[in-house]
Amino acid sequence: MNIQDIEQEKQQALAGIAAAADEKAVEELRIRYLGRNGLLQDIMKGIKDVPNDQKKEYGQRANSFKTEVLDAVNARKETLAAAGGQTGAGIDLTLPGAWPSLGTRHPISALIDRAVGIFRSIGFTVAEGPDIEDAFHNFDALNTPESHPSRNPADTFYLEDGTLLRTHTSPVQIRYMETHKPPVRIIAPGRCYRRDTPDATHSASFHQLEGLYVAENVSLAELKGDMEFFVRRLMGREDIRIRLRPHFFPFTEPSVEVDYSCHVCGGEGCRVCKHSGWIEIGGAGMVDPNVFKAVGYDPEKVTGYAFGMGVERMAMILYGIPDIRLLYENDVRFLRQFR
């Protein structure tokens, strides 16, 4: 046996050990290579036939054969033991992992967060106001006089002291403009209240997302462009179109309702858009001059747009939730669907 033979035998031995299927096979290989009558003994015996000038190297090779093979045997035995003595590829890779459970965001707050993020990217900042409002901020300053039908006590929760639970997030517009000079570019999410009897699509309390942009020369065309940008980002579809329909709100003029071409069918008509191709996303319009007067802005110097959207409605459309009450039941099996 010469030096090359030892090297070759070693490689073969290492490969064999690494592939051994179980401990018994490893032990058999150990005996074959390192046992009392094993190959190592033959190698050791062979040293006497080696020329003297090669004896040192032969000895080193023999030694490394012994240590490397022994290490390989021990390593393989450990690996197999760790796998519970199992044969084959080792552990059951499919057992459930042990990491703490995933946290989830509630669909309402997640949607608000997402929407706010989109508006923030074009320079809006968040503004907030109280749930318990006075009639001035909720109605009067929003060009909605006492005589206006929308102030009917049948629709509004009035409290004993004459304050009320805000019926929309629009009073935040007033509060913000009262305390800030133009330009104003805010997005105001929050809870609102209406005296609706709870059912699958109505809730006495719900969330709205209000937007207001006031500066010199703000136009309806900008409202349209910004709404288009928002819906495209929200839905992740760049082909979405915006359609405005004339409407009436006391605090905007012109007032519009905003539809977008269905994010599911692209406008062809499907179940989600009730086969119309369009989905209503909210109300909007150009801020009425009387609103500016109420907060001390000069309507000849600034113009602005405002919009409001129902968050629950949007969440129901986006996620296909059939009943608004599911959003408030907080069944963890429901919550888990929105990770």
Partner 1 sequence: MKVPVSWLLDYVKITATPEEIAEKLTFAGIELEGMERIGGAYSGLVVGEVRAVEPHPNADKLRVCRVFDGKDEVQVVCGAPNVEAGGRYPFAPVGAMLDNGSFKIKKAKLRGVESFGMLCSASELGISDDHDGLMVLDPEYTAGTPMDTVLGPPETVLELEVTPNRPDCLSMIGIARELAGIYGVPLEMPAVDLQETDIPVTDHASVSVDDTEGCGRYTARVVRDIAIRPSPSWMQRRLELSGIRAINNIVDITNYVMLECGHPLHAFDKALLKDSTVIVRRAAANESMKTLDDIDRELQSDTLVIADAEGPVALAGIMGGAGSEIRDDTKDVLLESARFDPDLIRATARRLGLSTESSYRFERGVDPETVEWASRRAASLLASLADGKICRGVIDVYPNPPNVRQVSCRFDRTRDLLGADIPDENIIAILSSLGLKPQEISGGACVLEIPSYRGDLEREVDLIEEVARRFGLDNIPSAPVAARINVDADDTPWRHREDLRGEMTALGLQEITTYSLVPEGLLNLFFGPGEEGRIALPRPVTMDQSILRTSLVPQMVETLGRNRSRQTEDAALYEMGRVYRRNQDGSSTETIRLAAGVMGVPGGNSIRTREPVTAAGMYGRIKGLWEKLAERRPGLTWTLRPCEAPWFEPGHAAEIESGGAVVARFGVIASGIRKEWRLQDPVAVLDADADVLASSGRAMPRYQALPTYPSVTRDLAMITGHDVRHEDILEIIRANSPDELETVELFDVFAGKGIPEGRKSMAYSLTYRAAGRTLTDDETNGYLTSVMDALRNVLHADIRDR
* Subset of 149-168 contacting partner 1 (CB under 8 A): 149-150, 152-153, 157-161, 163, 165
337 makes contact with partner 1 (CB under 8 A): no
Please pick, from the candidates 217, 236, 296, 322, the single residue that binds partner 1 as defined by CB under 8 A: 217
205 makes contact with partner 1 (CB under 8 A): yes
The runs of H, that is alpha helices, within 2-98 are: 3-19, 23-34, 39-46, 52-82
231 makes contact with Zn ion (CB under 5 A): no
In the region spanning residues 82 to 101, those forming contacts with partner 1, defined by CB under 8 A, are: 95-101
d(CA 232, CA 236): 6
Please pick, from the candidates 135, 215, 244, 270, the single residue that binds Zn ion as defined by CB under 5 A: 270
d(CA 322, CA 128): 29
4 makes contact with partner 1 (CB under 8 A): no
> Are 208 and 309 within 8 A, CB to CB?
yes
Q: Which residue has the tokens 């074959």?
A: 32
244 makes contact with partner 1 (CB under 8 A): yes
Q: How far is the CB of 283 from partner 1 (least distance, A)?
A: 11
123 makes contact with partner 1 (CB under 8 A): yes
Q: Is 98 helix (H, G, I), strand (E, B) or coil?
A: coil
Q: Which residues contact 125 (CB under 8 A, 6 or more apart)?
A: 185, 186, 187
Q: How many CB atoms lie within 10 A of CB 15?
A: 10
Q: What angle do CA 158, 165, 138 make, to 5 degrees?
A: 95
Strands 252-261 and 278-287: antiparallel
Q: How far is the CB of 267 from Zn ion (least distance, A)?
A: 7
Please pick, from the candidates 35, 77, 243, 264, the single residue that binds partner 1 as defined by CB under 8 A: 243
Among the listed ranges 12-20, 64-72, 83-91, 179-187, the one in contact with partner 1 (CB under 8 A) is: 179-187
Closest listed residue to residue 270, CA positions, set 320, 324, 336: 320
Please pick, from the candidates 70, 83, 135, 215, the single residue that binds partner 1 as defined by CB under 8 A: 215
Pick 93 or 102: Cβ nearer partner 1: 102
Q: Name the residue whose CB lies closest to Zn ion.
A: 262
